[in-house]
Structure 1
Amino acid sequence: MKTFACGDVVPGCTATFTASDDAGILGQVAGHAAADHGLPDVGPELVAAVRAHVRAA
Structure 2
Amino acid sequence: MKKFRCGDVVPGCTRAFTGSADEILLAVAAHARAEHGLSQVPAELVAQVDAAMVDA
What TM-score do you get using the length of structure 2 for normalisation?
0.96
Unaligned runs of 5+ in 2: none
| Alpha-carbon separation, structure 2, partners of 1:22 and 1:45 | 16
RMSD: 0.6
Structure 2 counterpart of 1:16? 16
Structure 2 counterpart of 1:3? 3
Unaligned runs of 5+ in 1: none
Structure 2 counterpart of 1:47? 46
- 1:22 CA displacement: 1.0
What TM-score do you get using the length of structure 1 for normalisation?
0.94
**Percent identical:** 57
Residue identity in the other structure for 1:49 = Q
Q: Which runs of 4+ in 1 moved over 2 A?
A: none
Aligned length: 56
